[in-house]
Chain A
Amino acid sequence: MCDTCGCQLNPEHAQDSRVVEINRSLLAANQELAEKNRSHMEQMGAVAINLISSPGAGKTTLLEKTIEALGERYRIGVIEGDIETERDAERIRAKGVPAVQLTTGGACHLDAALVHKGIHQLQHQLADKRLDLIFIENVGNLVCPATFYLGEHKRVVMVSVPEGSDKPAKYPRAFIGSDLFIITKTDLLPYFDFSIEEASGAAKALNPKIETICLSAPTGDGMDEWMKFLAGLVNR
């Protein structure tokens, strides 16, 4: 029945064999679950942010500083994704907010099913089941997490100064799907050959809607803009 594989040459095959049109995304199951995650988090009153970067770009540090600055004003919860260890969740809990650690056991990204589990665990830690902001810190990887929608309202991609300004051009998928681009560790700009113009220009070329914020979490430089971005989400 099929010209491409030549099975029409075998009459026995031709009798039973049939072709079915499907046209369904391979990510359809993930997508459906992600939509459920989104409405689940909305029912909790929360806006969810998916943080994507390579390992060591400063996701957890940015979260620690964000909690220090906004922890009094907003109810924040964090879902941490890593291949192994509780370390990141412990760092977040030390700042006094509920955190859940998801360990993928080897997988290079979070998917909607894992995050679904994470939301339930997070809710379990809350007295009133309500949050304003949920940060989902993805597994450190600038490639695979970009493919998997988790139900987030905003996706934020981060590159640190020591990584180099060629990263948006080299890892384009992460920038095409993101709402905000954060360049971190700007206190190190004097020591590295990093061009903010190159990085933000390439991100913009891939995705005209993406905005760029440059900051240093330890010095606090540029953190205001990040706070403004978050406040704009919560108050909508």
Chain B
Amino acid sequence: MHEMSLVQGLIGQLAEISKRQKARKIKSVTVEIGPFSGVVIDSFSFAYDVLKDEYDLLRGSRLIIDSPTPVLKCPVCGEEMDIGSGPSALEAAAGPWGLASARQCPRCKDSFMVPEGGDQILLKQVEME
């Protein structure tokens, strides 16, 4: 539900950037949404599509979303584990709570694997003219 306000913030940044760059039109915007950021990519795209038509600067522009693969990492030995992407990634990170062994680091067995990085929401690149 907060995707709409994030997109409004993005549009504010785009307006500033285009002013600074003396651009009159933005053609594409690349955003990186981390898998642990809590942002729903579909809702974010939808909000962008709805809001872009209200601004001359953005009308007809394209939103490109990169979403890096989430990993679990052992805080002790640094072992990393790919847990797949999509909405289930966070659930995989949270559970299964009862099976402590399932979350144990397969290498050092000294700690539990915890979600690593991927909570960023970044404006990476703007293509303009």
Contacts and interface: CB of A to CB of B under 8 A. Distances in A.
Interface residues of A, number: 47
B68 to A, nearest CB: 14
A38 to B, nearest CB: 19
A201 B1 contact: no
A206 B125 contact: no
Nearest to B75: A208
Given A109-B2, A143-B38, A169-B91, A29 B9 contact: yes
B127 A2 contact: yes
Given A26-B122, A143-B38, A205-B112, A172 B93 contact: yes
Interface of B is mostly: mixed
A191 B1 CA distance: 32
A23 B1 CA distance: 24
B124 interface: yes
B: contact size bracket: 35 or more
Contact of A24 (B6, B13, B38, B62): B13
Which among B94, B122, B129 has the greatest number of chain A C-beta atoms within 10 A? B94
Contacts, number: 134
A206 B94 contact: yes
B91 A172 contact: yes
Contacts of B10: 26
A19 B126 contact: yes
B121 interface: yes
Contacts of A143: 1-2, 38
Interface in A127-183: 141, 143-144, 146-148, 168-170, 172-173, 175-176
B126 A205 contact: no
Contacts of A21: 124-125
Nearest to A104: B5
A17 B27 contact: yes
Interface string B111-122: 110110001111
A29 B122 contact: no
A169 B95 contact: yes
B27 A108 contact: no
Contacts of A22: 13, 17, 123-126
A17 B128 CA distance: 5
A144 B100 CA distance: 29
A204 B115 CA distance: 11
A100 interface: no
Interface of B: 1-2, 5-6, 9-10, 12-13, 17, 21, 23, 27-28, 31, 36-39, 62, 64, 75, 90-91, 93-95, 97-98, 100, 103, 111-112, 114-115, 119-129
Interface of A: 1-2, 4-5, 7, 13, 16-30, 107-109, 111, 141, 143-144, 146-148, 168-170, 172-173, 175-176, 197-198, 201-202, 204-208
In the A-B complex, the 4 residue pairs with the closest CB atoms? A173-B38, A144-B2, A169-B94, A201-B97
